[in-house]
Amino acid sequence: MSTPHNAAKMGDIAETVLLPGDPLRAKVIADNFLTDAVQFNTVRNMFGYTGTYEGKRVSVMGTGMGCASIGIYSYELIHMYGVKNLIRIGSCGGMQEYVKLGDIVMAAGASTDTNYAHQYHLPGSFSAVASFDLLSKAVEEAEKNQFPYIVGNVLSSDIFYNETPEWKDWAKMGVLAAEMESFALYCNAARAGVRALGIFTVSDSMVSQEEMSAEERQNGFTNMMKVALGVAVQL
């Protein structure tokens, strides 16, 4: 079965998929972490690959930026291709002084300034949360590898270049970091009864205005990938 956004056939995609925003990052992951990776999608240059990691079949696919984009790709992966475990991997901007560059942030929950959950006609505000099973496995992997990590709430924002410093209001509520996709991913997973988790590397700080160097980004990305793949092999 193909869709307007994915040329894969049923069976081409594993039940566990890693989801970077950047499709070229999906290619880097396939080339450097997966064995015998085969490309299953090039539609709209949103690359997807399936291979093995430590004998476990794993897929990786780009999602683009924002809730609207990951909403489309994750919905199709779940409903058209039978994906059961979706692990978002990416970068985030720290919103607390104690959230340091290179830390791994695991999104136990995702707040948002989007209207994505409007479609469900809920009589209130939906709390979008990660799969505890995936989250607990990610914590175990970070502990095992002695990677610095923090678990908590993130902000999935529609706005990258914001005209006002609204992040400070979210920070007062204890939100750890900002990214752009997890809320929609968690909503789609909750509605379908599958598992999802967002794992991020802190690439910059809104508090200190620091940014990671290219080398630091690469090292931080590698640590995050080891955690995500460590979870994938257990599923």
Length of the chain: 235
Q: Is 12 a catalytic residue?
A: no
Task: Give the Cα separation of 34 and 220 in Å (integer).
Answer: 18
Identify the DSSP state of 201. Answer: E
CA 117 to chain centre: 18
C-alpha–C-alpha distance, residues 159 and 92, integer Å: 13
Containing H/E element for 132?
A: helix 132-145
C-alpha angle with apex 89: 85 to 142, nearest 5 degrees? Answer: 85
| Angle, in degrees to the nearest 10, between helices 214-232 and 23-33 | 70
Catalytic entry in 103, 133, 169, 204 = 204
* Residues labelled as active-site residues: 204
